[in-house]
A = this chain, B = another copy of it.
Amino acid sequence: MSTLKKTATTAEKVNETDLQIHGFRQTRHNRRLELVEDYVELIADLISKHGEARQVDIARELGVAQPTVSKMLKRLAADEMIVQRPCRGVFLTDKGTKLAKHCRERHSLVETFLVALGVPAEVASIDAEGIEHHVSEQTISAIKKFLNSDGASKN
């Protein structure tokens, strides 16, 4: 009945759907990085605003419980994104700083872009939060190009 049935177990099918598989795999991979990116980005924000990033602050900002943050920070420390100093909060390593910088730039770019498109600021803020992690370098370039020409056309 199905055109797929006959070859469902053969190897030829693989090539046919390779791109699709790659797409979903890439997306799943991005989804696993989302939380890490949220954390380093938030930690950078807290440090720049308040000079420190404590677990209670992170937990409050993210809307999760403190032990959840504690567990995640352990993971980030294992990944060498942060260092923890007792009762003094967490600090970004070079690696973490680089990632945070990248995320902040990408985040603000996406948010600016949405606002430029006419999305209300509050909604743009929420959408950007989810979208940012899935924006490739090529799309970043395209957005930058758009913002430049858009800005030029309005001046």
Contact = CB atoms under 8 A, between A and B. Distances in A.
Copies per complex of this chain: 2
Given A4-B57, A142-B117, A146-B117, A131 B122 contact: no
- Main DSSP-derived SS at the A contact region: helix
Interface string A60-88: 11110000000000000000000000000
A27 B118 contact: no
Interface string A121-155: 01111110111011110110011011000000000
B51 A24 contact: no
A126 to B, nearest CB: 5
Q: Which of A26, A27, A122 has the most chain B CB atoms closer than 10 A to its own CB?
A: A27
A138 B119 contact: yes
A48 interface: no
Contacts of A26: 126, 129-130
Nearest to A5: B54
A83 to B, nearest CB: 18
Contact of A60 (B17, B129, B134, B135): B17
Interface of A: 1-4, 8, 13, 17, 19-28, 30-31, 34, 38, 50-52, 54, 56-57, 60-63, 114, 117-120, 122-127, 129-131, 133-136, 138-139, 142-143, 145-146
